[in-house]
Structure 1
């Protein structure tokens, strides 16, 4: 991670850096405490889905936490 940020610091434009930081998503960044500035950043790929309720149909099983609709749903919600 640090090596990737150090490489980006050499080539990343200020506009690219600002766009990444302003997006509000999960990022990894390199901050210079001497200048009080971010000098590199990239969007972090968490490698998992934030969707906690999985579509299932038709209906639900007895052991599922379901919200009934035309296509039931199941999931723990956590």
Structure 2
């Protein structure tokens, strides 16, 4: 995909749309990962248990949208505070 960003620790500060809970961002800032992060918990299921996954919250996929403006119609407010 031409519009995908390959995340590396070096470009974290250039990608300002990353959520505060992004592991790359947290590591770059010297912060700990949240308890629900699979690298901490050892389980991929803790992100679902914590309620911080987008699973079941996606209302449209790229191939279903004709133009970028349609994305706004499908935005779902999510709480990514990480404290869940």
Which bracket does the TM-score occupy, shorter chain normalised? under 0.3
Higher strand share: 1
So what's the TM-score if we normalise by structure 1?
A: 0.20
